[in-house]
């Protein structure tokens, strides 16, 4: 078990050694560790070594000149200058918040960025301002559209954060696939089969072998197969790809750069880096904020008190699992898997930073 | 088989007899018949009798004073004054287009409306202006959130329309459930079982009996069950419910008014009528429109030319099936099922309008 403060100090030091300013290192560390706190273990310190390797490969610029290259009163396009997505994303969301303050809503497309941590973190930046926040990103192509043998889309998550009054906020944050890669890795380790509807093999056949993905298969869009409306998951993933990357000038579809540094970049890029898309809408651009938030309380209470199916305690509100995880892990610490700790140790050794197992 | 022009003339006359102005009757007819042309038979003239009955029950105002009740440079909230959704929606989308012209994007929440036909029609109004269009609506509660026995959400569709240059536009338009009610009705008529993941029975158990829904069961959110990420479909349906109805001041969740006139309205409304949400974003608020549209062509061509799985001809682009249906039905006519023709005849008789079978 690792205390939040201990990991925070360590990760901050790593980003500082990579050349980030103190402000940027702090931002990046906050975003990365928010994933660990929220129980989204795949997007937290487990990815730190990946960022370090991308930086070593010269694919991350830790002194980026992040700037607006196009704008209107309610929109902006931002060039991330190959910066850490963990730093570029909050800066872009900040621009969306400012536009929203001025004209009711703000929408920011970002090119030339990298992986940005958990989508929900950025959407939630809207909440203290009584705004609704949106956050999306494209990602390395691992997903086959309906009827496709080829992987053309990333897991392309969508996050939406909506403020309430007395109740905690509504925070949805989900990949547009049936299952995430991390869940497959768990099945691989356990030697268990995957449910149908999660993956297909390299020939495009339904597969239950969790190793299929690494053997040239693909993750399936939310829905799984056509009978269960995988074309809707494909629509969602495609929408995210277009808003984040065609709109901004990033690499879209199969041209999205891989996160792992050992895979080569496509030699015929159609844009720059990965793309994100952020939005912020002032609640009081539509109705008085207190009215809206009191109805959100009512919405949340009605859904939470719905009669549950047998075997389930209650109907959850989007954001409940992450919020409960956060409370628990701030108090009791963050569990890390052995291989993740090994990776952190190797980063520590390389950078000559102190890291003790089991803190 | 019925010719488009013949049905158009008939439906126009029906809306005129209901008291719509010529302009409103034309708008409503265009929207309704766009569904029939697009092959979305459940949302076209099959619903005409439903609108007539709502009007007879005094739930539709055919001379509405549709007005903006709240606005900022990029947003508006519209009171539909209990007008036909088929009329209210295009007017609200028009406001979104104007806001977008002025400040880059426009976002309009609507309360006090009714069913608005196919979501995609309104989103597609953005296309001639080189804008990206969004359209959502809530609907009668038929869907159980993950772990819920109760029906709390509608099929709550999302539509997104994105312009290309030489290629036809990308148009996604889908309910946030695994299957739509119309598909269940087809299985009922054929006496066939439903796939697992479409519905649950009144006790919240997975069901394959297509009659379960009418017997107190529920449609399932996209994903089907928790193992296949139904919580993501639940998040999407909930987001649509909140944006369309909590934001606008309409009835949300289980309070959404039923489409069928024989079901009573909830006696403790939390808002007015149904809610919609529309958006428009000028492509050139992010990058030059010709650049964007040429990359959209590239996106579409790359996806369409992906290697298909065995047994499938090609990977489809969202909007392909509806566009092909439209071309075919404008040329060869619109097929209508017997019960739909019976309904049209009964409307014709009641309103003393001429209607001949099989035109």
Over the stretch A136-160, which tens digit does the pLDDT of each residue have?
999 999 999 999 999 999 999 999 9
Q: CA dist B124 to B66, B90, B168, B205, Å?
A: 21, 10, 12, 39
Asked whether the predicted pLDDT for residue B3 surpasses 70, the reply is yes
Residue B359: predicted pLDDT: 59
Cα(B305)–Cα(A297) distance, integer angstroms: 48
Asked whether the predicted pLDDT for residue B257 surpasses 80, the reply is yes
Asked whether the predicted pLDDT for residue A170 surpasses 80, the reply is yes
CB-CB contact of A169 with B330 (8 Å) = no
The residue from B197, B219, B241 where one domain ends is: B219
Residue A41 tokens read as: 């273990």
Residue B294: predicted pLDDT: 98
Q: CA dist A209 to A144, A192, A198, A212, B248, Å?
A: 16, 8, 10, 6, 47
Residues B189 and B88 in one domain: no
pLDDT tens sequence across B181-231: 878 888 888 889 999 999 999 999 999 999 999 999 999 999 999 999 999
CB-CB contact of B279 with B103 (8 Å) = no
**Within a domain: residue A294?**
yes
Confirm or reject contact between B181 and chain A (CB < 8 A): no
Residues A199 and A294 in one domain: no
Residues B159 and B128 in one domain: yes
Residues 6+ apart with CB under 8 A from B220: B143, B144, B177, B178, B197, B198, B199, B200, B230, B233
Record: contact A309-B252, CB cut-off 8 A: no
**Within a domain: residue A331?**
no
Residue B189: predicted pLDDT: 81
Q: Taking the C-alpha atoms of A111, A112, A118 and A123 in order, what is their torsion angle to the nearest 10 degrees?
A: -30
CA distance A315 to chain B (A): 5
Question: What chain A residue is nearest to B107 in terms of C-alpha separation?
Answer: A105
Residues B236 and B297 in one domain: yes
CA distance B189 to chain A (A): 19
**Within a domain: residue B324?**
no
Nearest to residue B52, comparing CAs of B359, B356, B358, B348? B348
- How many independent structural domains does chain A possess? 3
Residue B64: predicted pLDDT: 98
Q: CA dist A163 to A124, A289, A310, Å?
A: 9, 10, 30
Asked whether the predicted pLDDT for residue B123 surpasses 70, the reply is yes
**Within a domain: residue A327?**
no
Asked whether the predicted pLDDT for residue A235 surpasses 80, the reply is yes
Residue A292 tokens read as: 């809206």
Q: What CATH number should be reported for the domain holding residue A207?
A: 3.30.60.50
Nearest to residue A181, comparing CAs of A159, A204, A157? A157
Domain range for B199 is 179-219
Average pLDDT over residues A212-232: 95
**Within a domain: residue B330?**
no
Quote the percentage of chain B above a pLDDT of 90.
Answer: 93
Average pLDDT over residues B102-125: 98
Residue A223: predicted pLDDT: 97
Cα(A109)–Cα(A93) distance, integer angstroms: 10
Average pLDDT over residues B278-286: 98
Residues 6+ apart with CB under 8 A from B219: B142, B143, B144, B151, B155, B177, B178, B179, B180, B181, B184, B198, B199, B213
Residues B158 and B12 in one domain: no
CA distance B47 to chain A (A): 24
Residue A190: predicted pLDDT: 85
Place of tokens 């792992």: A260
DSSP A250: -
Residue B186: predicted pLDDT: 82
CA distance A53 to chain B (A): 30
Residues A143 and A12 in one domain: no
Nearest to residue A321, comparing CAs of A40, A45, A133, A117? A40
Best B178, B236, B286, B301 residue to mutate vs chain A (most A CBs within 10 Å): B286
**Within a domain: residue B326?**
no
Residue A185: predicted pLDDT: 81
Residues A96 and A29 in one domain: no
Extended beta strands in chain A, E state: 67-72, 75-79, 105-113, 131-137, 158-162, 170-174, 199-200, 206-207, 218-219, 274-282
Q: CA dist A278 to A98, A133, A261, B2, B236, Å?
A: 12, 7, 26, 46, 17
Q: What CATH number should be reported for the domain holding residue B246?
A: 3.30.1370.60
pLDDT band with cut points at 50, 70 and 90 for residue A261:
confident
Given A71, A132, A309, which is nearest B147 (Cβ)? A309
CB-CB contact of B289 with B283 (8 Å) = yes
Average pLDDT over residues B269-298: 98
Asked whether the predicted pLDDT for residue A359 surpasses 80, the reply is no
Residues 6+ apart with CB under 8 A from A329: A4, A36, A37, A39
How far does chain B reach from its first CA to its final CA, in angstroms?
Answer: 6
| Neighboring chain B residues of A75 at a CB cutoff of 8 Å | 104-105, 281-282, 285-286
Residues 6+ apart with CB under 8 A from B96: B76, B106, B107, B108, B126, B133, B278, B279, B280
Residues B203 and B251 in one domain: no
Record: contact A238-B295, CB cut-off 8 A: no
Cα(A286)–Cα(B92) distance, integer angstroms: 13
Decide if the complex's ipTM is over 0.90.
Answer: yes
The residue from B219, B238, B273 where one domain ends is: B219
The residue from B191, B219, B247 where one domain ends is: B219
Asked whether the predicted pLDDT for residue A186 surpasses 90, the reply is no
Average pLDDT over residues B258-277: 93
- Indicate the range of A181-195, B48-62, B308-322 predicted with least confidence: A181-195
Residues B124 and B186 in one domain: no
CB-CB contact of A123 with A173 (8 Å) = yes
Asked whether the predicted pLDDT for residue A35 surpasses 70, the reply is yes
CB-CB contact of B286 with B296 (8 Å) = no
- Average model confidence (pLDDT) across chain A: 96
CB-CB contact of B278 with B130 (8 Å) = no
**Within a domain: residue A191?**
yes
Pairs of CB atoms within 8 A across A/B: 255
Residues B49 and B77 in one domain: no
Residues B86 and B161 in one domain: yes
Q: What CATH number should be reported for the domain holding residue B11?
A: 1.10.1530.10
**Within a domain: residue B325?**
no
| Neighboring chain B residues of A292 at a CB cutoff of 8 Å | 246-247
Exposure of A182 by Cβ count < 10 A (0-12 exposed, 13-18 middle, 19+ buried)?
A: middle
Given A105, A147, A198, which is nearest B107 (Cβ)? A105
Residue A210: predicted pLDDT: 92
Q: Which of residues 239-258 of A touch B (CB under 8 A)?
A: 239, 241-243, 246-249, 252-254
Q: CA dist B290 to A7, A15, B130, Å?
A: 47, 39, 9
Residues B19 and B156 in one domain: no
């Amino acid at each position: 078990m690792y205390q939040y403060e201990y990991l925070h100090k360590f990760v901050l030091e790593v980003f500082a050694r990579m050349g980030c300013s103190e402000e940027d290192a702090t931002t990046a560390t906050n975003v990365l560790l928010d994933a660990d706190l929220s129980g989204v273990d795949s997007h937290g310190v487990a990815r730190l070594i990946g960022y370090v390797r991308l930086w070593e490969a010269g694919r991350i610029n830790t002194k980026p000149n992040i700037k607006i290259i196009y704008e209107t009163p309610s929109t902006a396009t931002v060039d991330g200058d190959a910066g850490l997505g963990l730093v570029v994303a909050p800066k872009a969301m900040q621009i969306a918040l400012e536009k929203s303050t001025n004209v009711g809503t703000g929408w920011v497309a970002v090119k030339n960025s990298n992986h940005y941590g958990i989508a929900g973190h950025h959407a939630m930046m809207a909440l203290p301002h009584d705004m609704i926040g949106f956050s999306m990103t494209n990602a390395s192509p691992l997903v086959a559209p309906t009827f496709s043998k080829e992987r053309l889309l990333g897991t392309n998550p969508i996050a939406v954060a909506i403020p309430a009054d007395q109740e905690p906020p509504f925070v949805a944050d989900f990949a547009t696939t049936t299952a995430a890669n991390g869940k497959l890795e768990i099945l691989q380790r356990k030697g268990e089969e995957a449910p149908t509807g999660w993956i297909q093999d390299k020939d495009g056949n339904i597969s239950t072998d969790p190793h299929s993905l690494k053997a040239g298969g693909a993750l399936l869009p939310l829905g799984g197969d056509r009978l269960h409306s995988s074309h809707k998951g494909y629509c969602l993933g495609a929408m995210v790809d277009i808003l984040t990357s065609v709109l901004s000038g990033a690499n879209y579809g199969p041209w999205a750069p891989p996160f792992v540094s050992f895979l080569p970049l496509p030699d015929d890029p159609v844009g720059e880096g990965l793309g994100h898309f952020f939005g912020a809408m002032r609640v009081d651009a539509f109705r008085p904020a207190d009215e809206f938030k009191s109805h959100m309380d009512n919405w949340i209470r009605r859904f939470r008190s719905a009669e549950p199916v047998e075997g389930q305690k209650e109907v959850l509100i989007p954001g409940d699992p992450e919020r409960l995880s956060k409370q628990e892990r701030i108090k009791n610490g963050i569990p890390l898997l052995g291989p993740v700790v090994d990776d952190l140790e190797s980063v520590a050794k390389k950078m000559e930073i102190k890291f003790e197992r089991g803190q």
